């Protein structure tokens, strides 16, 4: 019994030391990211559905907040696949409030051009046109969105990448406007939470955001705002997904 008690105490000490080193390293990392991304930039986060901002991009949003970026959010659908669009729009605004995105900086597109449907291919040129309009109107100098894999493979996610890729390759983005895309990973890495941190540090090409313990709780609160989406498998996602804690991003 005494040996078991000592083992528990030792495990608690090791866990505390790990968290202390983790939080300290992330403060150093924040300074490094600040030098790379620049402080107080105007960033546009382009997502496809309400809950993308918390489910996939929470580490990026909170990491940019450390750097004092002003974050705008453009959501291309109301998430009306199951006729829950009005509910999901309200949930998105609640989540943004938790994440520190001003509600005046949130734009939700709700029309037939961009249906929440993995079986529908959004028109790349139309998506690009809408994106460019918001970039120019808001003086955006950094765009953040999905990569070619869309993290989950959802066609609506991939459509955003295709559009921003087209703007970038055709030279249509304003001078000084950069693009960061969220790296997709395989299923194993996706669900091992912080155990993926060594691999993330090894494989991240440009920018890595890792949440400290306080920020993880904030990200979970944001995701919990999407009550209509909290089915049992999404609760498991919140517990185990690396995307609730770690974001690896690459510049186009």
| pLDDT surpassing 80 at residue 39 | no
pLDDT(20) > 80: no
For residues 142 and 26, give the distance between their C-alpha atoms in angstroms, rounded to a whole number.
22
Mean of all residue pLDDT scores within the chain: 89
Q: What is the pLDDT of residue 17?
A: 45
Which residue, among 220, 223, 181, 230, has the nearest Cα to 92 in the 3D structure? 223
What mean pLDDT do residues 109-134 have? 96
Tell me how far apart the alpha carbons of residues 22 and 82 are, in angstroms, rounded to a whole number.
Answer: 40
State which fold the 39-251 domain adopts.
Rossmann fold (3.40.50)
Say yes or no to pLDDT of 18 above 80: no
Name the more confident of 8 and 109: 109
**Model confidence at 33, in pLDDT bands (50, 70, 90)?**
low
Between 213-224 and 232-240, two packed helices, what is the crossing angle to 10 degrees?
Answer: 160
Q: Which residues does residue 71 pair with via DSSP β-bridges, in sequence order?
A: 43
Q: What confidence score (pLDDT) does residue 5 get?
A: 52
- Number of neighbouring beta carbons within 10 Å of residue 49: 23
CA proximity to 152, closest of 184, 177, 178: 184
Domain residue spans in the chain? 39-251
């Amino acid at each position: 019994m005494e040996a078991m008690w000592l083992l528990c105490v030792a495990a608690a000490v090791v866990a505390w030391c790990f968290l202390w080193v983790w939080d300290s390293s992330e403060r150093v990392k924040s300074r490094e990211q600040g030098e790379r991304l620049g402080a107080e930039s105007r960033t546009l986060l382009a997502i496809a559905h309400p809950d993308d901002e918390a489910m996939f991009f929470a580490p990026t949003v909170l990491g940019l907040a450390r750097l004092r970026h002003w974050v705008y959010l453009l959501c291309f659908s109301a998430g009306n696949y199951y006729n829950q669009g009005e509910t999901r729009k309200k949930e998105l605004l609640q989540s943004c409030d938790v994440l520190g995105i001003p509600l005046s900086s949130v734009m939700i597109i709700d029309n037939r051009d961009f249906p929440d449907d993995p079986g529908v291919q959004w028109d790349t040129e139309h998506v690009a046109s809408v994106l460019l309009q918001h970039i120019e109107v808001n003086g955006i100098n950094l765009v953040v969105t999905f990569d070619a894999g869309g993290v989950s493979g959802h066609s609506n996610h991939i459509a955003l990448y295709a559009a921003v890729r087209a703007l970038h390759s055709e030279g249509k983005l304003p001078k000084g406007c950069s693009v960061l895309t969220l790296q997709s990973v395989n299923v194993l890495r996706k669900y091992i939470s912080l155990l993926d941190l060594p691999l993330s540090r090894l494989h991240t090409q440009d920018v890595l955001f890792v949440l400290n313990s306080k920020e993880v709780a904030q990200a979970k609160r944001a995701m919990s705002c999407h009550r209509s989406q909290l089915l049992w498998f999404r609760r498991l996602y919140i517990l185990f997904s690396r995307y609730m804690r770690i974001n690896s991003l690459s510049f186009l």
